[in-house]
Amino acid sequence: MSSVVLITGAATGIGNLTARALAAAGHTVYASMRDVRGRNAARAEELLALGRREGHDLRVVELDVQSEASAEAAVATVLGEAGRLDTVVHNAGHLYVGYVEAFTPEDIQRLLDINVLGIQRVNRAALPHLRSRGSGTLVYVGSTTSVVVPPFLGPYVASKFAADALAQVTAYEVGQLGIETTVVMPGPFTQGTEHFPNAGRAHDDERTRAYAALDPMVARNEEATEGLFPPGVDAHPRAVAEEIVRVLALPAGTRPFRTVVDFSQAGVEEVNEVLRRAQEDFVTRLGFGELLHVRTAPAQGTP
């Protein structure tokens, strides 16, 4: 069944690939990005031209996840044009590479603003509509870094931990109003995204120089990551887009809460299963076991 999907951070990488894949699967897709008439104008036009050429319902909408007004305006545009919104794919994010001490509080604040508060802004814009319908799906593009905790990505890993926690606790609550949640956890990718080339760096150069003995490790970080992939495996982020297409094709009420797309053989699925059992046991013993299951009928009295 086709749905109306809003994707954040769709100018490049996983978001862009997901927009293309979902549109090809028959969904109405709003690929959102910042500055669609400026620096992302060519990327926006490329997606629009693809939609025209292939006969896909692929649209572009302005959305800066660092602006509450922008998030509200984007959702209003979707509702005004399509009449409904079924799915939000939270994909927008930024990467920092460097030594934790060298990142100023302002550096980390900016990253959290994009990777965590950006999710909250978009959810607050979209959830009133999803709640009023008693249905919908929130898809979060998370990260296996919140399990494996790689070095030299400290603020990024912290932001992914925070985003994952926000997604999980939100899921308890919105699930009682008929809204499903899936957290897609990509492993590392060294091709097909602009994550590493566009990564932010720490602004305190003096503190960075204090860790110069570790610079050779940082320099071979991408090479080391590629060494985790089995020989002959095409570790490309299109696999994440394909997984999101698969999840949204599943019948409502059957979508997994977590799914992992990882070519590095990090054992994240096994860790997730241990955590799931512990968390479900804890929530159940609290007496809140119903929060672990999505209600298929809308709750009464929802505004």
How far from 127 is each of 121, 165, 173, 279, CA to CA, in Å? 10, 18, 11, 25
- Whether 286 is covered by a domain: the verdict is yes
Q: Which of these ranges, 127-131, 153-157, 186-190, 210-214, has the smallest mean pLDDT?
A: 186-190
- Whether 302 is covered by a domain: the verdict is no
Q: Which of these ranges, 111-125, 180-194, 241-255, has the smallest mean pLDDT?
A: 180-194
Residues 58, 46: Cα–Cα separation, whole Å: 11
Between 303 and 61, residue with greater pLDDT: 61
Residues 149, 143: Cα–Cα separation, whole Å: 10
Asked if residue 187 lies in contact with residue 264, where contact means CB atoms within 8 angstroms, the answer is yes
Give the contacts of 21 (CB within 8 A, at least 6 positions apart).
238, 241, 242, 244, 245
Q: What would the pLDDT profile of 28-48 be if each residue is shown by its tens digit?
A: 999 999 999 999 999 999 999
Residues 44, 10: Cα–Cα separation, whole Å: 9
Task: Provide the CATH number for the domain around residue 272.
Answer: 3.40.50.720
Residues 70, 201: Cα–Cα separation, whole Å: 26
Residues 6, 84: Cα–Cα separation, whole Å: 11
Residue 281 is predicted with a pLDDT of: 98
- Whether 274 is covered by a domain: the verdict is yes
Helix or strand (DSSP H, E) at 121: helix 118-133
Residue 61 has pLDDT above 70, yes or no: yes
- Whether 163 is covered by a domain: the verdict is yes
- Whether 267 is covered by a domain: the verdict is yes
Number of domains in the chain: 1
Q: In the numeric block, which tokens belong to residue 218?
A: 């940082």
223: number of Cβ within 10 Å:
9
Q: Is residue 172 among the annotated active site residues?
A: no
Asked if residue 82 lies in contact with residue 28, where contact means CB atoms within 8 angstroms, the answer is yes
- Whether 169 is covered by a domain: the verdict is yes
Q: Where are the beta strands (DSSP E) in the chain?
A: 4-7, 28-33, 58-62, 87-90, 136-141, 179-186, 258-261
Q: What would the pLDDT profile of 94-142 be if each residue is shown by its tens digit?
A: 999 999 999 999 999 999 999 999 999 999 999 999 999 999 999 999 9
- Residue 279 — very low, low, confident or very high, per pLDDT cuts 50/70/90? very high
User: Under DSSP, is residue 245 helix (H, G, I), strand (E, B) or coil?
Assistant: helix
Residue 297 has pLDDT above 90, yes or no: no
Q: What residue numbers bound the domain in which 250 lies?
A: 4-292
Residue 303 is predicted with a pLDDT of: 46
- Whether 299 is covered by a domain: the verdict is no
Reported pTM: 0.94
Residue matched to tokens 């292939």:
54
Among candidate residues 30, 96, 140, 156, the one labeled active-site is 156
- Whether 78 is covered by a domain: the verdict is yes
Question: What radius of gyration do the chain's Cα atoms show?
Answer: 19
